[in-house]
Structure 1
Amino acid sequence: MSHVPTLVKDVATPPSRPEQAPRQRPDEASRHRWWVLGIIGIAQLMVVLDGTIVNIALPSAQQDLGFSDGNRQWVITAYALAFGSLLLLGGRIADLFGRKATFLVGLVGFAGASALGGAATSFAMLVTARAGQGVFGALLAPAALALLTTTFTDPRERAKAFTVYGAIAGAGGAIGLLLGGILTEYLNWRWTLYVNLLFAVIAFAGGKALLRRTARDKSATLDIPGTILVSAGLFCLVYGFANAETYDWDSPATWGLLTVGAVLLAAFTRWQTKAAHPLLPLRVLLDRNRGASYLSVLISGAGLFGVFLFLTYYMQQSLDYTPVKTGLAFLPMVAGLMITNALATTVLVPRIGPKPVVPLGMGLTAAGMAWMTTLDLTSGYASHLMPPLIIVGLGLGLVMAPAMSLAISGVAAEDAGVASATVNTMQQVGGSIGTALLTTLSAGAATDFLAGKNPQDPVIAAQAALESYSTAYWWSAGFFLAGLVISALLYRRGVPAQDENAAPVVHM
């Protein structure tokens, strides 16, 4: 399920003296601003779709290219890891080289990587293409958000624009599930990647014609050491978890990489305290509510991304659902998420604060995941599968909306961009680690179940698959229980105070 991005941006400093020229009215600043919103919306939809559209197509891609169950995680993880680990850098590049140029380069690169993935003749080629999508998506997403902010300078119009942008991002996950099913079932799994070419061509043509060139920020400096440290550290962590399936936990290929990853991330944290232009200023992380929110988003990503993968395989391989039926089956969960998303941001958190709300959401999601462990080969949709999906959706809405809002609430204007990028990074990195870890644990459960049995027996093979899925659901429930404890301990009591000098937050 794709995330609903954090919507923060107002980094421009308002005129401080009356004699300075007044700000242009929106119609003077950008006569085509609503067309620009459409262009940015198309680009954002393309990026968000790729968080879910390939999930539905993955069983077909695996059968076509012949890769193993252990390797299938990398089709998801390669995108999420590249996207998440480079988002902070992407925002800095947009400042340094100009937002329009970065936006257009991101579109071209994303389209090229999508074409490569659609034409993939091997597993390695597909994973390389997915990583390329993540790299260029990390350029595209921050530039799009920044362009939206600079295009809409009137506060009321900006609020409307961000509402539309947020609706596109929020619906993108559901659209991806349905579109992925339709394209896979009626065309081919490759079209879940080729479809990005259509989005990219439209957005590029419109962006080239209508977007204004923005001045380069000559004071912006790339934190190259910080980027190398955090990217390498995250890669080692994810790869270490993934290696546990092949080499076991006591192998240097597993614990060695995990150790190196931890050391590199510690070095990154140390470097951020000394760097003149840090990639992630640590002051952004140190507020209690903000820190609790980042951890909540990280845990939710870890629990959710992997479960989407396993539920997709369960529906298509254990229950013989078609790709379209699989996409439709997820919609009640999306509906539940949207209901509690709106309830949490407009009613609950403004009245009682996040401390009761987020832990409640974590607990509901954990209960839904635990309920899924009862699914078997004879489970019906309405009686067995839909109820826990709805519970998970209701719980996630109580977690994600408040956490993403509070993760950037109260930051100084100059930190608004990095705070926004960080919350998206947390979700993508959590998804990468969770997918790798859950895949390893589920594969180990299937192997243990098959010990001494005939794996060629269809009934035994089907039961082994159920055992692997159940293990993933239990561990995911454990993640959310840990999130319940952490969020209950860290969030402050009461309604968060509003800082008039902080960067404004536009709620969806």
Structure 2
Amino acid sequence: MTVMAQSLKELPGAMSYRWWALIALALAQFLVVLDASIVNIALPAIGSELHLGTNMLGWVITAYVLPFGGLLLLGGRLSDRFGHRRLFIAGVGGFTVASAAAGVSISGEWLLVARAVQGTSAALLAPAALALLTKLFADPKDRAKALGIWGAVAGIGSAAGVLLGGVLTSSLGWSSVFFVNVPVGVLIMAAVPFLISKDAPSERTGLDMTGAAAVTAAITALVAALAGTERVGWSSPQTLILAGAAVILLSLFIFLEKRVANPLMPLSIFRNRWVTGGNLAMFLIGGATTALFFALSVYMQQVLRYDAMKAGLTQLPMAGALVAIAGVVPAIVKAFGTRRPLAASLILLAAGLIWLSFAPINAAFTIHLLGPSLLIGVGLGGAFVSGTEAAVHGVDDDEAGLASGLVNTSQQIGGAIGIAVLTALSSARTESLLEQGVSQPQALTSGFAWVFLGAAALAILGASVVLTVIPALKKQ
């Protein structure tokens, strides 16, 4: 039992303190996930006011994703080293200030710097938040419930980005997509010191800064290579150089981790098959869901001609299904262990994606989209909850931040690779059909169908990995 959990249990109404603390942690995670997508709808308005071209607008997204994905492992290890609550509060503070700065941007350069600080702060708070959750809820039954809420919030954040982005941009202007973070961040920072006791930093001395620099540079190079493929192509010198640098730096990181006294990421953590299987699953889930939300949003607006508000509202059934199943999954995990619910959730996700791939160019929402949306929501809810549970199962307290940073990193890199590969396939399919004289709506629809089928393939692969890697008959 951790010192923090003991101190909470000594307080009157300790259970309520823990669950209120979970709300604060989940809200912070919601902001982190939301900010990866809420800005998309606002990009045209941002470009018009700040005089940004198409290439620079892409960097409004990339400036957030690069430091977020690249610094997650370091952020997790820093929280282990200096205290999870301390790093969480610092991350929320930085994220809040950077959000306010982004909202008052007077130039593109100002906005990009603010977005980079947002991403860096998110890399601090996200792993610290999940590590705090695993410490607060040491009992497997309570932890499963807490992770159910956590998974639901993460999924809702992904789905809500389009809806909130459309509502806020159309009613209050593009700055509001950043300002919305400020009051929530202030509330979280005010509440956490009263809800969560200070946790003791790790007894390990020293910090593997060389390894941190190598892995951060490797992940940043990889994400930058993938983020740029849509603009410059897969065979461009930029893509090849960045990808080659990522491979070299990752190899250097592994070499260093085997030889330093206090490695940033002890490779022994992968001896835990739940951690290995959970991270592989979250990598593939990230790839499938990032591509799904991008393609579905564009399909609804470019093919079905939904406006931003309507496109966002159509995400609500999926989000509702996700929340409903996330509340049930902890009981299922308790009864059957992590392995089977996670594999089943991925199969349901794949089934919903395959169903969605049959949507025509004149799809009616209730006939063609509602059914697959609900099935996808059920699959995502189960996969997020059980996948996160697997990825942090059996991890010692002094490596909780590392495990949390690792699962977030897996999801972010999976998302970057998934959207880059699947959108490239979609574009190739669409261009091929256009060259054959097929109408643009039909060509786009067919291209998006390839994205949905590719995402389904990732989900099926994830189910196979789970059944192969995660041990059977282990109940939580």
User: Does the alignment reach a TM-score above 0.5?
Assistant: yes
Are the structure 2 counterparts of residues 405 and 85 from structure 1 closer, same or farther at C-alpha, using a change threshold of 3 Å?
A: same
Deviations 1:193-235 (A, max 9, x none): 1211222333345557887666655744322122222122122
Cα pair 1:242 1:439 within 8 Å, conserved: no
Structure 1 residue 185 corresponds to structure 2 residue 142: no
Cα pair 2:318 2:374 within 8 Å, conserved: yes
Q: Residue 355 of structure 2: SS of its match in structure 1? A: helix
- Could you say which residue in structure 2 is the equivalent of 1:359? 343
State the one-letter code of the partner of 1:388.
Answer: P
Deviations 1:259-313 (A, max 9, x none): 3212322222232222222222222222333312110110010111122122112
- Could you say which residue in structure 1 is the equivalent of 2:287? 302
* Higher-Rg member (1/2): 1
- Could you say which residue in structure 2 is the equivalent of 1:496? 474
Match of 1:280 among 253, 258, 265: 265
- Could you say which residue in structure 2 is the equivalent of 1:404? 388
Deviations 1:333-367 (A, max 9, x none): 223333443444312x4444444433333233223
State the one-letter code of the partner of 1:115.
Answer: A
Cα pair 1:238 1:436 within 8 Å, conserved: no
- Could you say which residue in structure 2 is the equivalent of 1:481? 460
Match of 1:384 among 368, 377, 383: 368
1:206-245 alignment, distance < 5 Å: 206=191, 219-245=204-230
How far the C-alpha of 1:51 sits from its partner, in A, is: 3.9
- Could you say which residue in structure 1 is the equivalent of 2:236? 251
- Could you say which residue in structure 2 is the equivalent of 1:196? 181
State the one-letter code of the partner of 1:414.
Answer: D
How far the C-alpha of 1:466 sits from its partner, in A, is: 3.1
Moved more, 44-53 or 55-64: 55-64
How far the C-alpha of 1:392 sits from its partner, in A, is: 1.6
Whole-angstrom CA distance in 2 between matches of 1:58 and 1:94: 33
Are the structure 2 counterparts of residues 245 and 210 from structure 1 closer, same or farther at C-alpha, using a change threshold of 3 Å?
A: closer
Moved more, 27-36 or 371-380: 27-36
State the one-letter code of the partner of 2:210.
Answer: P
Q: Residue 285 of structure 1: SS of its match in structure 2? A: helix
Cα pair 2:422 2:451 within 8 Å, conserved: yes
How far the C-alpha of 1:236 sits from its partner, in A, is: 2.2
Q: What is the RMSD of the two structures over their aligned residues, measured on CA atoms?
A: 4.0
Whole-angstrom CA distance in 2 between matches of 1:447 and 1:100: 50
How far the C-alpha of 1:255 sits from its partner, in A, is: 3.0
Whole-angstrom CA distance in 2 between matches of 1:142 and 1:98: 12
Whole-angstrom CA distance in 1 between matches of 2:475 and 2:33: 32
Match of 1:418 among 384, 402, 405: 402
Are the structure 2 counterparts of residues 262 and 323 from structure 1 closer, same or farther at C-alpha, using a change threshold of 3 Å?
A: same
Whole-angstrom CA distance in 1 between matches of 2:51 and 2:259: 48
How far the C-alpha of 1:44 sits from its partner, in A, is: 4.1
Match of 1:439 among 402, 423, 428: 423
- Could you say which residue in structure 2 is the equivalent of 1:263? 248
Structure 1 residue 374 corresponds to structure 2 residue 365: no
Cα pair 1:81 1:432 within 8 Å, conserved: no
- Could you say which residue in structure 1 is the equivalent of 2:124? 139
Are the structure 2 counterparts of residues 158 and 385 from structure 1 closer, same or farther at C-alpha, using a change threshold of 3 Å?
A: closer
State the one-letter code of the partner of 2:363.
Answer: S
State the one-letter code of the partner of 2:115.
Answer: R
State the one-letter code of the partner of 1:79.
Answer: Y
Whole-angstrom CA distance in 1 between matches of 2:138 and 2:338: 30
State the aligned residue count: 476
Cα pair 2:291 2:423 within 8 Å, conserved: yes
Cα pair 2:155 2:319 within 8 Å, conserved: no
Whole-angstrom CA distance in 1 between matches of 2:111 and 2:311: 23
Whole-angstrom CA distance in 2 between matches of 1:261 and 1:449: 34
Are the structure 2 counterparts of residues 405 and 274 from structure 1 closer, same or farther at C-alpha, using a change threshold of 3 Å?
A: same
Q: Residue 407 of structure 1: SS of its match in structure 2? A: helix
Greater fraction of residues in helix:
2
Unmatched segments (≥5 aa) in structure 1: 1-9, 16-21, 454-458, 499-508
Are the structure 2 counterparts of residues 132 and 324 from structure 1 closer, same or farther at C-alpha, using a change threshold of 3 Å?
A: same
Whole-angstrom CA distance in 2 between matches of 1:278 and 1:179: 41
Deviations 1:51-97 (A, max 9, x none): 44334545655676687778766554543442233223223333545
Q: Residue 379 of structure 1: SS of its match in structure 2? A: coil
Cα pair 1:372 1:388 within 8 Å, conserved: yes
Moved more, 50-59 or 323-332: 50-59
- Could you say which residue in structure 2 is the equivalent of 1:506? none
Cα pair 2:338 2:389 within 8 Å, conserved: no
Cα pair 2:95 2:121 within 8 Å, conserved: yes
Unmatched segments (≥5 aa) in structure 2: none
How far the C-alpha of 1:473 sits from its partner, in A, is: 2.1
- Could you say which residue in structure 1 is the equivalent of 2:274? 289
Whole-angstrom CA distance in 2 between matches of 1:80 and 1:14: 33
Whole-angstrom CA distance in 1 between matches of 2:55 and 2:351: 27
How far the C-alpha of 1:383 sits from its partner, in A, is: 0.6
Are the structure 2 counterparts of residues 472 and 106 from structure 1 closer, same or farther at C-alpha, using a change threshold of 3 Å?
A: same
Moved more, 32-41 or 418-427: 32-41
Are the structure 2 counterparts of residues 67 and 316 from structure 1 closer, same or farther at C-alpha, using a change threshold of 3 Å?
A: farther
Cα pair 1:312 1:326 within 8 Å, conserved: yes
- Could you say which residue in structure 2 is the equivalent of 1:106? 91
Are the structure 2 counterparts of residues 237 and 491 from structure 1 closer, same or farther at C-alpha, using a change threshold of 3 Å?
A: same
Match of 2:311 among 319, 326, 347: 326
How far the C-alpha of 1:12 sits from its partner, in A, is: 4.6
Cα pair 2:337 2:475 within 8 Å, conserved: no
1:456-471 alignment, distance < 5 Å: 460-471=439-450
How far the C-alpha of 1:326 sits from its partner, in A, is: 2.1
How far the C-alpha of 1:445 sits from its partner, in A, is: 3.6
Whole-angstrom CA distance in 1 between matches of 2:46 and 2:360: 24
